Structure 1
Amino acid sequence: MKRNYNKPTQGGDVRPKKALGQHFLTDESIAARIADTLSSYKGLPVMEVGPGMGVLTKYLIASGHDVKVAEIDGESIDYLRYNYPELAGRILDADFLRLDLAAIYPDGQKFCVIGNYPYNISSQIFFHVLDYRDQVVCCSGMLQREVAERFAAAPGTKARGILSVLLQAWYDVEYLFTVDENVFNPPPKVKSGVIRMVRNGVTDLGCDERLFKSVVKTAFGQRRKTIRNSIRGMFPAGVPLPDDPLLSLRPEQLSVAQFIELTNLVGSSR
């Protein structure tokens, strides 16, 4: 259906929608800092997720990035089309989670992903990025601080979890800075964090990737238990568990390399 485009008034015509998890960033200096997380990748195209009223978009364009944006909010799309003529033909009226990014960037083209991500689907967004890890060289942006800290958590820290391991298997993840609640409309109830993920040199984990995911999820599913107790059910019945020091640790203590080693232990018993 064709939309009617009325002239939007600056800052007033796009209403933040709770159902879409929208909290519009109002601090220009923070938007500039987030855009700058891609300063080393100006030769690559950029996909921005959920641009809203373009507070981040304007700095990406000003920095010379080749930007496309994915947005599902009709009011935001109208606003962007009117205020950012540079985006003509580059606004995707689509759910990022349903986009075939390989079709948008064909022939294995490398690109970056950035956004002020909706809190309610941020984990799903990063899982979607992970599906295109051979093309997404860098992924950065802002999300709920607790989730951002989890993504970047090192072995031995309380925040470490399933996504920490699955993302860090393929990306170097860095927590960059914290953003207070009062720079959003409406203000969220929690602080936000900005992270950057840069593709590492791993092309093959050295284990069965599907089993790796299963081992990680099973181990963290009972994170208070030692590995020996949490993954016992992954070994065939009647087969004694190997006498390996890894099994005496808890999941948050293991590095990616140790989870790969653990996966191979499970795989060799089958």
Structure 2
Amino acid sequence: MSKSDKPNYGHQAKKRFGQNFLSDPSIINNIIASIRPKTDQHLVEIGPGQGALTGSLLDSGARLDVIELDNDLLPILKLHFGLKENFTLHHADALRFDFNALVDDEKDLRVVGNLPYNISTPLIFHLLQHCHNITDMHFMLQYEVVKRLAASPDSKAFGRLTVMTQYYCDVEQLFIVPPGAFRPAPKVDSAIVRLVPHKQLPYPAHDVKLLEHVVGTAFQQRRKTLRNTLKKLCSEAFIVAQGIDPSDRPENLSLKEYVILANAIFEARKNDEDVFA
């Protein structure tokens, strides 16, 4: 069946959900080949839509939980997959879903999703809090978001999302997906990204919430230097004492340097030392 022959099951994509349904068989096959689902695994698909990936994921024999918010898509998913023993449908908002509740055996979750742009960043932050129960994540995202996830220091794409995602995960961009692979076609390219949670954090933070606060504060004014963006958290001299140049901008620091700075602030506060001296 060609892309133009794909049925829409009477459902029109909804702008408020950011829906663009994947319809290119070759892209679908490439995604499934990248995921390599296996019978003894537990998969979670976020936003299955009309089931472009769902059927192939189920055919692997893996247990599959799908999370769909759109009421109008539930009958379509039930019709096509409801009789499969390894299929469970959750009518829920993925941003508020407790992924830990799906873990009821010794198998960690493998998460898959074609994520709408309007929720991709908050959803990734939400999933990062469940990393201890996740083996890997494969997402279709707007290409610009994937570039931010995989960015290196000293680039404009490097930011808060980059630092916190790479704190928890190894990030790998797999391949770009053109607009024509979707119905309706978006105005921008998309890309597939693989996120693999670290088994051991490369740079552990003493307090992750403090690290998030330091990173978030720094990037609130990314065009300014660290001496200005972090002046409410610590002094310029304190920054220098950690081996960091206060004239650098937020995008110039590596993940390691952000952790060093956050840990230094944590230790100073713990020991009642003045971080503004």
Structures share a fold, TM > 0.5?
yes
Distance apart, 1:25 and its partner CA: 0.8
Which of 184, 204, 208 is residue 182 of structure 2 equivalent to? 184
Q: Is the partner of 2:11 in helix, strand or coil?
A: coil
Letter in 2 for 1:224: R
Please name the residue that 2:13 is paired with: 16
Q: Is the 8 A contact 2:38 2:60 kept in 1?
A: no
* Contact 1:232/1:241 (<8 A) preserved: no
After superposition, what is the alpha-carbon deviation per residue over 1:3-61, rounded to whole angstroms, capped at 9, x for unaligned? xxxxxx94232211111110001101111222223227653201000101100112212
The corresponding residue for 1:63 is 60
User: Once the 2 structures are TM-superposed, how far is the Cα of residue 147 of structure 1 from its aligned partner?
Assistant: 0.9
Distance 2:190 2:85 in 1: 27
- Per-residue deviation, 1:107: 6.2
- What is residue 48 of structure 1 aligned with on the other side? 45
| 2:58/2:86 contact within 8 Å kept | no
Bigger Cα displacement from structure 2, 136-145 vs 198-207: 198-207
User: 1:243: Cα distance to partner?
Assistant: 2.6
Q: Which residue of 2 is the match for residue 133 of structure 1?
A: 131
Q: Aligned equivalents of 2:171 and 2:199: distance in 1? A: 13
- Contact 2:62–2:86, Cα closer than 8 Å, also in 1: no
Distance 1:108 1:168, change over 3 A: farther
Is the alpha carbon distance of 1:148 and 1:98 closer, same or farther for their aligned partners in structure 2, counting shifts above 3 Å?
same
The one of 67, 83, 86 equivalent to 2:84 is 86
Q: Is the 1:45–1:67 Cα contact (8 Å) retained in structure 2?
A: yes
CA offset at residue 89 of structure 1?
A: 5.7
1:70-108 residue CA offsets vs partner (Å, 9 max, x unmatched): 011122111111112326760111111221111221367
Q: Counterparts of 2:204 and 2:55 in 1: how far apart (Å)?
A: 38
Q: Secondary structure at 1:11's aligned position in 2?
A: coil
**Which of 59, 74, 79 is the aligned partner of 1:77?**
74
Partner of 2:220: 221
Q: Normalization by structure 1: what TM-score? A: 0.88
Give the match's secondary structure for 2:240.
coil
Any unmatched runs of 5+ in structure 1? 1-8
1-structure distance, mates of 2:40, 2:128: 21
| Residues 137 and 195, structure 2, Cα contact 8 Å, conserved in 1 | yes
1:207 deviation in Å? 2.2
* Mapped partners of 1:231, 1:98: distance in 2: 31
Alpha-carbon deviations, 1:218-253, whole Å to 9, x = none?
1111112222221011027xx953434413322222
Partner of 2:234: 235
Q: Find the partner of 1:116 among 97, 114, 117.
A: 114
Of the structure 1 ranges 19-28 and 100-109, higher mean CA displacement relative to structure 2 is found in 100-109
Q: Deviations over 1:167-214 (max 9, x none)?
A: 100100111111111221111111111100001123582322111000
Q: % of aligned pairs identical?
A: 36
Structure 2: give runs of 5+ residues left out of the alignment.
1-5, 270-277
Counterpart AA for 1:81: K
CA 1:108–1:130: 2 relative to 1, 3 Å:
farther
Q: Aligned pair in 2 of structure 1 residues 128, 80: CA closer, same or farther (>3 Å)?
A: same
* Equivalent position of 2:274 in the other structure: none
Counterpart contact for 1:102–1:108, Cα < 8 Å? no
Distance in 2 of aligned mates of 1:199 and 1:152: 14
Determine the C-alpha separation between the residues in 2 that align with 1:25 and 1:181.
10
Asked whether the 8 Å contact 1:170–1:202 carries over to 2, the reply is no
In structure 2, C-alpha distance between the alignment counterparts of 1:105 and 1:17, rounded to whole Å: 31
- Mean Cα displacement is larger for which, 152-161 or 211-220? 152-161
Are residues 63 and 173 of structure 1, via their aligned partners in 2, closer, same or farther at CA, if it must alter by over 3 Å? same
Q: Which runs of 4+ in 1 moved over 6 A?
A: none
1:172 aligns with 2:170: yes
Matched position secondary structure for 1:178: strand
